[in-house]
Structure 1
């Protein structure tokens, strides 16, 4: 199945898919690939596909605006970058799987990157609603049945975006397709673009042939008081292939040292999510500042010298410094759940 990657990428970025503007209004789980729709597959086959994304990977990113949807708009140049990532299974509880991505540079330096969680038949998720805010939304019973919610988390373990869809399995590869979802600006454009506010995306994850790819269909949307304006359609491919060239053992050492701290961060966020129906950053730079504060705290943390309870309290204070929360009853709260006056 090695040809899956090369043929899929060329089709996506240079072939007929460019002109069809596929999928943005399609039903969840509908494949962009030819062939008859297969029968829904067992739960364990879905789990196998998700868990196979863990490993040591040579990663290539390519994003290209392929169609202007606004008169007078000029598409931007393609974005290309490559590197190495280790993806590890942080949690596996059957219907809940957490995969942590770690970046590795040529000198062996390791950086905590994004995390993807997969939850089977979960009834709610954190939806991006714009302006650095996320709201908990419920799914209808028909959307829940047989579906997996994928939640992508920022480097500070705050929400980034989430989508639901169903896995389909064919001979040699598996594919998951999300419903149309909202996302904040990608980091590669956050500091360079101010002409649009968010992306409306359909995500495709294909696993097979000893690797996997993430395909993105992104509409770049500007919101105003008069409505929404779509500037352009962008297609993106992130490919994960087996390969050498990085010290992946450095990632293992990093994880062994840092995972206790970041586990406490996740439990702190879970406490916030349980108590609130909306979360967000207070200001434009608070997401970056919170990540910097947590990364610095991770460097100082030692489980032998500091209790988990004290560390959790410090983490909640850092989160509250940069984030706001709206409780389930509609009142604004601090990170402990107390109402603010």
Structure 2
């Protein structure tokens, strides 16, 4: 927990919890919130569908002497996004990558995003291997949505809150400042930074949507967190169905009950233990991620029953998480 003390000492932890955007985004009136709710709901649901995705990553400005920004990296793939829950005030979107490898179609359960309207708290990244509940200030709840992003095994990645706004004729959701753990693309490099301080923006386009990230890569220097380099990351989702969409839907039909139980177990841990503390590896995410994913594949292949797989998953989560 030394790093949390460092965050508090430097004031950066308070930035991440909302003091920065609070200036740019004053409280929303109840009337304005009610008027915008339906459009917010429509805009979130519009992120579901079938897409060609382009990931464009660019380190730009170094903030410390002697650091050379990485060359721009562009990658992509085919992604199916399905609505797996919609209660009106909560929407859950599950992403699945579809890839061809040696003549075979492979489905990789990808990230998940949970949206909640007027949340009272958010599960946020607090330090290495640790996610904690943080209250949303009461005066900034009205009309706002939280977005919590989860990793491939449904463990948390980052969370934040913000509002939909229209500027220059473009409507977008903009988060508060949020802390995030390193993505695997960076973690496997053993870099000098060890986390990101980020603003996320989601906005619809005529043929899909974009997820725009403004990431300050942070690292410890002489016991203090300092900015190392700025990164601009643009994920572009363009509507496209010229791939094996059915493979993703078949995977989800076969495994959705298992993943529902996995999500429920992570949620129970977060409640019972005051958040989630689980060790991670640079190349795989959590130390149990590989096995949790394998169990889903075994269900689809008919080698294990859902109940048996879910029981093993619960044991793995319980054994590898700690009280905050």
TM-score (norm 2): 0.84
Deviation (angstroms), 1:250: 1.1
- Match of residue 228 from structure 1: 225
Q: Which has the higher strand share?
A: 2
Q: Is the 8 A contact 1:125 1:137 kept in 2?
A: yes
Q: Deviations over 1:295-337 (max 9, x none)?
A: 122233489x8574x65442221113332233xxxxxxxxxxx
1:164-193 CA-to-partner distances (Å, cap 9, x unmatched) read 000124797530000011000012111013
8 Å contact from structure 1 (residues 157, 266) kept in 2: yes
Residue 186 of structure 2 is matched in structure 1 by 189
Equivalent residue, structure 2, for 1:103: 97
Contact 2:202–2:209 under 8 Å retained in 1: yes
CA contact (8 A) 2:279 2:287 kept: no
Match for residue 27 of structure 1 among 21, 24, 39: 21
Q: Does 1:89 align with 2:83?
A: yes
Count of aligned pairs: 295
**8 A contact 1:29–1:178 mirrored in 2:** no
1:16 corresponds in structure 2 to none
Structure 1 CA distance for aligned equivalents of residues 63 and 251 of structure 2: 44
Give 1:54 shift. Answer: 0.1
* Counterpart residue number, 2:4: none
Query: RMSD across aligned C-alpha pairs, in angstroms?
Result: 2.5
| Structure 1 residues 306 and 74, CA gap change in structure 2 (3 angstroms) | closer
Any unmatched runs of 5+ in structure 1?
1-23, 32-38, 327-341
Residue of structure 2 in register with 1:155 after alignment: 152
* Alignment partner of 1:114 out of 103, 111, 115: 111
1:215 aligns with 2:218: no
Q: 1:292 aligns with which of 290, 293, 297?
A: 290
**Structure 2: tracts of 5 or more residues without a match:** 1-17, 26-31
Question: Within 2, Cα distance between the matches of 1:306 and 1:273?
Answer: 26
Instruction: Please give the alpha-carbon distance, in whole angstroms, between the structure 2 residues aligned to 1:242 and 1:28.
Output: 34
Normalising to structure 1: TM-score of the pair?
A: 0.80
Could you tell me which residue of structure 2 aligns to residue 321 of structure 1? 319
The answer for the alignment partner of 1:139 in structure 2 is 136
For residues 211-245 of structure 1, what are the alpha-carbon distances to aligned partners after superposition, in whole Å with 9 as ceiling and x for unaligned?
Answer: 10000100010025631111111111000001243
- Of 184, 189, 197 in structure 2, the residue corresponding to residue 200 of structure 1 is 197
SS of equivalent residue, structure 1 residue 320: helix
Q: Distance in 2 between matches of 1:87 and 1:95?
A: 19
* Distance in structure 1 (CA, Å) of the matches to 2:236 and 2:298: 34
Distance 2:220 2:176 in 1: 21
Q: Secondary structure at the match of 1:189?
A: helix
Distance 2:23 2:201 in 1: 9
Question: Residues 170, 283 of structure 1: CA spacing in aligned structure 2 closer, same or farther, 3 A cutoff?
Answer: closer
Between Structure 1 and Structure 2, the one with more helix by share is 2
* Counterparts of 1:294 and 1:306, CA distance in 2: 14
